Amino acid sequence: MMKITLCFILLFTSGILFAKNQEFILKDGKIILDVPENWKKVEGFLGIELMLVGPMKSSNRPVVTVVLTNFDEFNLDQESLKKNESTYKESREKWLKKNGGSSIKYFNYETSHLKNNLQMHNLGFMYTLANKEFIERSHYIMCNKKLINIKSLTLANEEKANFKNINSIIENIICE
């Protein structure tokens, strides 16, 4: 009985149970995301349609951005996207050089299946910038024949703490 009670308390206090579905109207569509209670939405900041920011820890917040791209019926086949890994790395290295950062490692391209019969393609990297280590991941999902680019950014030492919330936002996406 003690184990069951402890498991319930851990699940109840994890933050995931407090997530709620929120509807967002984007330029060419509507999505529903499972947003944790303590996260806030920011719309239109720096031209980004939708940004979700988590609670402040140390001096940073985890961030998830959502952009509905201009690509209709984009071909997300594994072979084509795998070829684009080197282009991704080149663009990230160029950005890091411009901003005085350096890469630590890259996460290989991979695919996964999400709820609601959606497929996600993602890759990412870990880098140092301003004496901090970050993990940035890019996720690509076809939603009603429109390509959505979702990026997540967190401090490397806080990734485990932010992982459940970020994944819940992304994995529970509903396209309308």
Q: Say if residues 143 and 175 touch (Cβ distance below 8 Å).
A: yes
Task: Kindly report the CATH number that applies to the domain delimited by 20-175.
Answer: 3.40.1000.10
Token pair of 1, please? 């009985």
Residues contacting residue 73 through CB under 8 Å, at least 6 positions apart = 142, 145
pLDDT at 47: 85
Q: Tell me the C-alpha to C-alpha distance, in Å, between residue 20 and each of 14, 103, 174.
A: 14, 35, 13
pLDDT for the residue 12: 35
For residue 74, the model assigns a pLDDT of 63
Q: Specify the pLDDT at position 9.
A: 31
> What pLDDT does 100 receive?
97
Per-residue pLDDT at 176: 80
pTM of the model: 0.82
The pLDDT tens digits along the chain (176 residues) read 333 333 333 333 344 445 688 988 877 778 999 999 899 999 888 888 899 999 998 778 999 999 888 776 666 666 766 678 888 999 999 999 999 999 999 998 888 888 888 888 899 999 999 999 999 999 998 888 888 899 999 999 999 989 999 999 999 999 88
Q: Say what the pLDDT of residue 2 is.
A: 36
Give CA–CA dist 65/50, Å, rounded.
Answer: 6
Pairing of strands 50-53, 102-114: unpaired
Which residues, 6 or more positions from 59, have their beta carbon under 8 angstroms from its beta carbon? none
d(CA 9, CA 33): 25
Q: What is the per-residue pLDDT for 78?
A: 67
pLDDT at 29: 78
Instruction: Report how far residue 139's alpha carbon sits from residue 121's, in angstroms, rounded to the nearest whole number.
Output: 6
Q: For 118, phi and psi rounded to 5 degrees?
A: -110, 150
Q: Kindly state the tokens that stand for 162.
A: 């932010």
